[in-house]
Amino acid sequence: MTLPERARTLCHEIENTEASTKDQLEQFRLKYLSKKGAVTALFDELKAVPSDERRAVGQELNGLKELAQNRFKALSDQLETQSDQTSALALDLTLPVPAHQLGSVHPLTLARAKITEIFERMGFSVADGPEIETDWYNFTALNFPENHPAREMQDTFFIEKSPEDSTKDVLLRTHTSGVQVRLMMSSNEPIRAIMPGRVYRNEAISARAHCFFHQVEGLYVDKNVSFKNLKDTLYHFAKEMFGPDTTIRLRPSYFPFTEPSAEMDISCGLNNPDGCTLCGGSKNICKGSGWVEIMGCGMVDPEVLKNCGFDPEVYTGFAFGMGVERIAQLRYGVRDLRLYSENDVRFLRQFEGI
């Protein structure tokens, strides 16, 4: 059979080919239009045709190729139309629309809102400040002298670091205490405020630590402010946050910006019949001691008051700071800090309706 005869036979075959599925359509393409397909094979034989016949045969092969391409497009359009019709038939317009699924508030937002609510009821205002700070607001004004060992307690992300003059350093704040400094420097009036915000420290990320986290710090500066005022304030907060049966204890500690300083623990319910209430009954947080640390606190150091424009002979004050992640961990039973920032909807949906 000559090449033109085979081309006409192939033309008739293509015209009568049907494709009712995508697989059949792909088989059509491979059989006729691919590099190893039947049409391409006929073009490869064109060089063996006598030169005086080659032009006419070539035109016939071009018509065959165009026919195959058009047939492929027609079959493809036909399948797409059938698919649309099938989808339309499957759609029942009489069914009620799906219920709109509302998102849930993030557990850190819930914990921060609860903390803020408690302190606002006690007369504390809410203050905010920049997350990019200078050395003065983050360290020096808070009684961190240059090369003081206390600076090594916090691994800092520096944006600009001066090898000769640390006062020129620019950094991501390691605590929200810089907001306290700004408040005291902007006013000589009594201050009672909390400072919620995100802070940053150069730490390895694990279930217990992260390179960024959230704090709520508090400051009360006035005449005749005592350590008893601090204890009463934090005791009220603990009972409001964790329940009326909560008890607290204060352990001596050290912070450069407070003197005396203390760590505050709350009871976790170790002696309850169900075990540690805050530890989920497993004692994995209190280590069997019955106490869980939640914050640091203390009386504002006189040097800090002096640095910020307050006369320490006239004014005293107290300050405290807590991690929002820690509070949320105890309040909602979250055991891995990484869950807070992974945006896993399965985790977030657990807080719907809270």
Average pLDDT, the chain: 86
Residue pair 268/285 in contact (Cβ under 8 Å)? The answer is yes
Q: Dump pLDDT digits (tens) for 292-317.
A: 899 999 999 999 999 999 999 999 99
Which of 27-31, 40-44, 79-83, 191-195 is modeled with the greatest confidence?
Answer: 191-195
Domain range annotation of the chain: 3-87, 107-351
Say how far apart CA 54 and CA 69 lie, in whole Å: 22
Q: How far apart are CA 164 and CA 220, in angstroms?
A: 35
Q: Given a cut of 80, is residue 42 above it in pLDDT?
A: yes
Confidence of residue 56 (pLDDT cuts 50, 70, 90): confident
214: β partners: 198
In the predicted structure, residue 145 carries a pLDDT above the cut 80: no
Please report which confidence band the pLDDT of residue 208 belongs to, taking 50, 70 and 90 as the band edges. confident
Q: Which CATH class is domain 107-351?
A: alpha beta
Residue 70, H or E segment:
helix 51-90
Compute the average pLDDT of residues 237-257. 92
One-letter amino acid identity for 115? I
Hey, what are 180's tokens? 């306290």
Six-digit token pair at 17? 């080919």
Query: Is residue 120 pLDDT above 90, yes or no?
Result: yes
CB 290 within 8 A of CB 185: no
Which band of pLDDT confidence, cut at 50, 70 and 90, is reported for residue 282?
Answer: low
d(CA 258, CA 195): 17
Helix, strand, coil % in the chain, rounded to nearest 5:
45, 20, 35
